[in-house]
Every structure is written in C-alpha cells, then in structure tokens.
Amino acid sequence: MASYTYKVKDMCLEHVFECGQTFRWNSVSCEKGEYYEGACQGYAAKIFLHDGILRVDATGGTEEFWHNYFDLGRDYGELKSILSGKHSTLDKAMLEGYGIRILNQDYFEMLISFIVSQNNNIPRIKKCIEALCNTYGEVIEGTDLHAFPTAERLSALTVDELMKLKLGYRCSYIIETAKRYLEVGMPVAKDTAALKKELCEYHGVGPKVADCIILFGLSRVDAFPIDVWVKRIMNDLYGFDLNDLKGMQAKAREEFGDIGGIAQQYLFHYYRS
DNA sequence: GCGCAGGGGGTCG
DNA sequence: CGACCCCCTGCG
C-alpha cells in the first residue's frame, strides 16, 4: 500500500467526484470525517483531503501517476481568474464549485462509461458501471474492488451475456466499441474537431458523448460537452434556442476560448446543486 | 398499495 | 422526429 501526500489549492473532493466526470468513486464517512474510495487504472485507493493536504492511499501507481490523475499540475486559480468577469453566473458557479478539477482518466474507460451514460441518470450509470467492473473486471488484490474491464474482455462478450447486467440497448454499442477500439486504438493527436468526428464513428457515440470522452479521457479542456443541463444554461445565460447546438458551441469557444470544458464543469455543477 | 406515465448528462434509423 | 432498455419518481 503506497501513500502519497500533496499540497493542493483549489480542490474539494466532493466537487471533484460529484460533478459527473467519474462514476467509480464513492464517499465513505468515518469518525475523522469523509473520504472517497474507488479505483482507476487497476489501482484501488482511498482519497483524503484535509487542510490543503491531499492524501492518496493506493494499492499502486506512482506519485507522478496520482499527481497527474488529479490534474495537480494545472493551476485552477489561474483558470478561474481567466474566466472571471465573463458572466455573473459563471462567477457564482466558480465560487460555489471552487474545488472542481478535471481528472485525467483512462481513455477506454471513458469511452465505455459515457456510452453507458446516454439517456440515463447518474445513479443508474454508476450501477451499470459497477456491474460491468464486478462481473468482467479483474479483482484488485487485497481489496473487494475490481478494475475496469479490458477491451479484450468486453469485445469477447455476446449481447445476451451482457444483457444480464441490465445495460439495455447499450450492450451492442459496448461490444462493438470494444472491438473497434482494439482495432484502431487511441486516437492520434489532432485538433479537437477532428477527434470528435473520429469518435462519433463509434456506434453509440454522438456529439455529447464524444465531447465527454475528449474532455475526461483525453484531457482536452477545450471540449465543451452540451447536455440537457448545458442547453438550459446556454439558454438562461445567452438566450440560445434549446436545439441550437452549433450556436452554443460557437459561443462557448468565443467566451471561454480553449478552456470551455473547465467553464462547463463549474456551470454544470452549479446548476445541478 | 399498485399501475402507469414521465423522464433521465442522447443516439440511431 | 420517434423509439429505445431500464430504473426511479410522482400521481391517480
């Protein structure tokens, strides 16, 4: 069991784990307060944050790995100052969600997780992903947690098998996606628009899911996922028609530049809470 | 209590 | 633009 500590600013565990970017971390209450337990990249971990000190107790991963996972190399204070004054609602959202950070998560896990998320709600998304991990993911030694399943494992399943996990019509998307991922691998570096187009070729991946994968799985903070909440936000803030996705995308680029994904997370969190 | 719409971080045909 | 697999909620 490795233990690492980091001095952090602009961070709150609840903001990080409950803003909808990840589905595998759960809060645990104990006498000393609250911590989060979960898994990523085949490592199980407990995450504590008190008085500006982040502590990671994990079954593996280097100090650099967790530093990168929590995006500690990015100065969110600086980002907030860049975004401040752009809109009074965003200013409020940044105060409310001061401790949001975009996790650097596994690409394949994000690919599958956000396919599961379509036309679905967060509690059930978490259940579905937990079922996927518990059924098809390797046990993480010394814990009762499971790693996210590999593409090899998922690609070998039949729809009938996967249907048992109550994933509904998403089953075929998941299997096809795992197969395709094994063929094409990670996307090569290119501009975000081209990435989005490439991702939309996966069955079950549309514009919204593609942007989530780009933002959370490829760490491109210029991606600006537009879901029903963001539609409402863009309507409230700038008066966009609810189905004018193009207009919203353009406005996000104009207002937030290449950190639209960061602004999106603050706004999304603010509207949901 | 129970049955039945309604809708959920969309996408496909 | 309607259907969708499933689950949870609210309402009669």
pLDDT value at A189 more than 80? no
Mean pLDDT score of chain A = 96
Is the separation of the CB atoms in A269 and A89 below 8 Å?
no
pLDDT at A190: 86
| Local confidence band at A165 (pLDDT 50, 70, 90 cut-offs) | very high
- Per residue in A63-108, pLDDT tens? 999 999 999 999 999 999 999 999 999 999 999 999 999 999 999 9
Give the Cα separation of A252 and A234 in Å (integer).
9
Tokens of A40: 């990523």
Helix (H) or strand (E) holding A40: strand A33-40
Give the Cα separation of A132 and A146 in Å (integer).
9
Q: What residues form DSSP beta bridges with A44?
A: A39
Distance of CA A6 to the CA centre of its chain: 22
Which strand C nucleotides have any atom less than 7 A from protein CB atoms? Answer: 4-8
- Per residue in A8-62, pLDDT tens? 999 999 999 999 999 999 999 988 889 999 999 999 999 999 999 999 999 999 9
Is the separation of the CB atoms in A28 and A36 below 8 Å?
yes
Three-state secondary structure of A221-268: CCCCCCCHHHHHHHHHHHCCCCCCHHHHHHHHHHHHHHHHHHHHHHHH
AA letter at A50: H
Give the Cα separation of A76 and A12 in Å (integer).
12
Note the pTM of the prediction, 2 decimals.
Answer: 0.97
For residue A35, the SS3 value is: strand
AA letter at A114: F
Residue A208 annotated to the active site: yes
Q: Which nucleotide is nearest to A269 (CA to C1')?
A: B9
Which strand B nucleotides have any atom less than 7 A from protein CB atoms? Answer: 7-13
pLDDT at A192: 94
Is the separation of the CB atoms in A181 and A151 below 8 Å?
yes
pLDDT at A223: 97
Tokens of A228: 């029903």
Residues with CB under 7 A from strand B: A 19-21, 117-122, 124, 200, 202-210, 212, 225, 227-229, 268
